[in-house]
């Protein structure tokens, strides 16, 4: 059994479950620190020079010389969660591939909030160091980050069973350079798309090593490091052509038009500080707006939250809190696009007759991915209701003024689906007389009660003149309580038409 619902199964009445993924349903999270996910990854060494000296940042690295580094992630899990089929989110910090940490306060807040919503989250290290004075060399920094993000996804996928997560619901996201990693994880997914400088390259007459394939770093090269969906906080892609078709992974983006670090439209990054870096040469990148437009062009579903006054820290509301729309926007996107169960329709009688309500009526749904069902009733009682079954048996009240049945499905992720509602109408047992000549059964003007007969009515067709023909149109399946026909009357059942007389 995939759902941890034993406390409910003993009851014959279903209960609604917490609204995972779209709201915070757990009080606290547990953190597991410094989990190794990549060993001996080659990181370029600082190259020195004036700008590295005054900033302390590795912005002039020697790509031809590397040191091996180990990379770690921190895991966040909701305390008290017994579900073993959970989605996971890899979260990458920002810092321009020059600075930053998985311990950055807003990244930790994202991880904790999403974990309280029911996800398993992982904040990760990735290799830093970029040469901002050569656009070809600068792309190598993005590619290293892409490899490290994929290595983290591979770690979660390989250890899915022990971590209580599912392998096909692993997402990735981040801010700034971390968002570059997330976007390229989804869209730079072919060896043929690798920038040429990520292969063997020359820097100042020195041979720079081939960085290797997309999944050539990390602890397991037997699984794919591509995530299933992404969130993007003020990120960009190197080429819009990476976004190929409607089958690519789906992204929700958050970006402010006044971002001076990563362009909302297109251009070189760091436009707010580049005049201070004499000789800087960075590649043109394409921000969240053109990414969204490109997605629309190839019929890839995406969502863009666009702002005008949040700057580069699109998710940070001051220095200690997140904007209130960020975590719900991320969680709801993953829920709607990847986790929500299929919509259901309740099948069963909706037009009941006075005097026949105390019988048992069966109502059912077709739910290909539902595993638990919260049925609710008004104006009646359940005579059978098992929350693991796709049907219920109902007896309706003679005295209720309103009667309805609803069901909310939940799948293996305990994600709730849309609630299906069925309203029940109760009709009196009347006689409905045919008052027309030849014509259509479905024309209400041919009946003295002004409507087409329902299953609770006795119909009377009495005609003493020349023959008339009553047509029941193609595919019409009718039901009435009884039928009396007097005179020369022909009933023409067109293809697939049927009339069921209950008595």
Q: Which tens digit of pLDDT belongs to each residue from 3-56?
A: 444 434 444 456 788 999 999 999 999 999 999 999 999 999 999 999 999 999
Domain contains 16: no
pLDDT at residue 14 in the model: 63
Percent of the chain with pLDDT over 70: 97
Nearest in space to 194 (alpha carbons), one of 175, 227, 178, 216: 216
Pairing of strands 302-307, 250-256: parallel
Percent of the chain with pLDDT over 90: 92
Fill in the DSSP letter of residue 493: E
pLDDT at residue 88 in the model: 98
Distances (CA, A) of 236 to 227, 228, 264, 283, 285: 17, 18, 8, 11, 6
The yes-or-no verdict on residue 343 having pLDDT over 50 is yes
Fill in the DSSP letter of residue 503: -
Span 114-140, average pLDDT: 97
pLDDT at residue 222 in the model: 86
**Residue 275 confidence class, pLDDT cut points 50, 70, 90:** confident
Tokens of 229: 């969906």
* Residues whose CB falls within 8 Å of the CB of residue 50, separated by 6 or more in sequence, listed in order: none
Distances (CA, A) of 68 to 9, 65, 100, 116, 127: 52, 10, 19, 35, 10
Domain contains 112: yes
Residues 416 and 285 in one domain: no
Tell me which of 308, 339, 370 is where a domain ends. 339
Residues 313 and 178 in one domain: yes
Domain contains 203: yes
Distances (CA, A) of 191 to 212, 224, 239, 290, 329: 10, 13, 14, 23, 32
pLDDT at residue 433 in the model: 97
Tell me which of 401, 426, 451 is where a domain ends. 426
Domain contains 280: yes
Residues 333 and 366 in one domain: no
pLDDT at residue 10 in the model: 41
Span 73-79, average pLDDT: 98
C-alpha span between 254 and 389 (Å, rounded): 41
Domain contains 239: yes
C-alpha span between 183 and 234 (Å, rounded): 11
Burial class (CB in 10 A: 0-12, 13-18, 19+), 425: exposed
Q: How much is the pTM?
A: 0.89
Nearest in space to 433 (alpha carbons), one of 480, 467, 474, 471: 480
State the CATH number of the domain containing residue 285: 3.40.50.1820
What is the SS3 string spanning 353-381? ECCCCCCCEEEECCCCCCCEEEEEEECEE
Tell me the angle at which helices 326-334 and 105-116 cross, rounded to the nearest 10 degrees: 50
E strands of 361-480, at which residues?
Answer: 361-364, 372-378, 380-385, 391-396, 403-410, 420-427, 431-433, 439-440, 458-472, 477-480
Residues 55 and 138 in one domain: yes
Domain contains 5: no
Residues 188 and 229 in one domain: yes
pLDDT at residue 130 in the model: 97
* Residues whose CB falls within 8 Å of the CB of residue 356, separated by 6 or more in sequence, listed in order: none
Pairing of strands 201-203, 120-124: unpaired
Domain hosting 325: range is 32-339
* Residues whose CB falls within 8 Å of the CB of residue 136, separated by 6 or more in sequence, listed in order: 195, 196, 197, 201, 283
Residue at token pair 């003020």? 234
DSSP of 186-232, one letter per residue? Answer: HH--SGGGS-GGGSSEEETTEEEPP---TT-SSS-SSS----SEEEE
* pLDDT tens readout for residues 189-236: 999 999 999 999 999 999 999 999 999 999 987 899 999 999 999 999
pLDDT at residue 273 in the model: 75
342: helix, strand or coil = coil
Tokens of 73: 């992630």
Residues 277 and 390 in one domain: no
pLDDT at residue 503 in the model: 77
Domain contains 25: no
pLDDT at residue 13 in the model: 58
pLDDT at residue 274 in the model: 67
Residues 212 and 309 in one domain: yes
Q: At residue 249, what are phi and psi to the nearest 5 degrees? A: -65, 150
Residues 466 and 330 in one domain: no
Task: Judge whether 21 and 331 are in contact, CB under 8 Å.
Answer: yes
Task: Judge whether 218 and 154 are in contact, CB under 8 Å.
Answer: yes
What ranges in 321-423 are assigned the alpha helix state H? 326-334
- Half-sphere exposure of residue 344, counting CA atoms within 13 Å on the CB side? 33
Span 80-109, average pLDDT: 97
* Residues whose CB falls within 8 Å of the CB of residue 313, separated by 6 or more in sequence, listed in order: 106, 175, 234
Residues 210 and 91 in one domain: yes
State the CATH number of the domain containing residue 410: 2.60.40
Domain contains 23: no
Residues 221 and 310 in one domain: yes
Residues 364 and 327 in one domain: no
Tell me which of 426, 458, 485 is where a domain ends. 426
Count: domains in the chain? 3
Burial 441-456 (b: 16+ CB within 10 A, else e): beeeebbeeeebbbbb
pLDDT at residue 8 in the model: 44
Residues 89 and 103 in one domain: yes
């Amino acid at each position: 059994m995939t759902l941890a619902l034993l406390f409910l199964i003993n009851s014959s009445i279903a209960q609604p479950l917490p609204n995972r993924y779209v709201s915070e349903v757990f009080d606290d999270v547990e953190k597991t620190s410094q989990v190794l996910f990549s060993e001996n990854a080659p990181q370029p060494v600082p190259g020195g020079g004036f700008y590295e000296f005054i900033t302390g940042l590795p912005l002039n690295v020697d790509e031809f010389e590397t040191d091996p580094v180990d990379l770690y992630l921190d895991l966040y899990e909701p305390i008290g969660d017994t579900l073993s089929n959970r989605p996971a989110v890899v979260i990458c910090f920002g810092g321009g591939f020059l600075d930053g940490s998985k311990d950055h306060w807003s990244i930790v807040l994202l991880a904790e909030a999403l974990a309280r919503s029911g996800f398993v989250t992982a904040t990760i290290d990735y290799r830093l160091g970029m040469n901002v004075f050569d656009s070809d060399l600068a792309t190598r920094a993005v590619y290293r980050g892409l490899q490290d993000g994929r290595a983290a996804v591979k770690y979660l996928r390989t250890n899915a069973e022990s971590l209580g997560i599912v392998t096909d619901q692993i997402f990735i996201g981040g801010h700034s350079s971390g968002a570059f990693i997330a976007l390229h994880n989804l869209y730079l997914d072919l060896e043929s798309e690798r920038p040429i400088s990520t292969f063997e390259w020359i820097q100042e007459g020195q041979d720079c090593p081939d960085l290797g394939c997309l999944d050539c770093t990390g602890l397991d090269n037997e699984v794919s490091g591509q995530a299933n969906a992404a969130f993007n906080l003020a990120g960009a892609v190197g080429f819009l052509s990476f976004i190929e078709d409607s089958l690519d992974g789906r992204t929700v983006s958050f970006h402010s038009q006044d971002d001076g670090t990563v362009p909302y439209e297109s251009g070189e990054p760091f436009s707010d500080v580049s005049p201070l870096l004499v000789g800087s040469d960075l590649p043109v990148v394409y921000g969240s707006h053109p990414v969204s437009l490109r997605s629309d062009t190839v019929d890839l579903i995406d969502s863009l939250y666009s702002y005008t006054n949040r700057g580069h820290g699109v998710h940070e509301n001051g220095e200690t809190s997140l904007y209130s729309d960020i975590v719900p926007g991320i969680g709801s996107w993953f829920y709607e696009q990847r986790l929500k169960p299929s919509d259901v329709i309740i099948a069963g009688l909706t037009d009941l007759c006075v005097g026949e309500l105390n019988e048992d009526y069966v109502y059912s749904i077709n739910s290909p991915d539902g595993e638990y069902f919260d049925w609710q009733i008004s104006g009646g009682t359940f005579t059978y209701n098992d929350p693991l079954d796709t049907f219920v048996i109902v007896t309706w009240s003679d005295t209720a003024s309103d009667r309805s049945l609803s069901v909310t499905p939940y799948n293996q992720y305990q994600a709730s689906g849309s609630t299906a509602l069925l309203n029940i109408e109760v009709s009196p047992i009347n006689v409905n007389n045919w008052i027309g000549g030849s014509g259509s059964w479905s024309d209400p003007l041919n009946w003295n009660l002004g409507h087409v007969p329902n299953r609770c009515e006795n119909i009377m067709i009495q005609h003493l003149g020349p023959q008339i023909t009553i047509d029941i149109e193609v595919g019409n399946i009718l039901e009435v309580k009884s039928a009396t026909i007097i005179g020369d009357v022909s009933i023409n059942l067109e293809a697939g038409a049927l009339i069921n007389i209950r008595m």
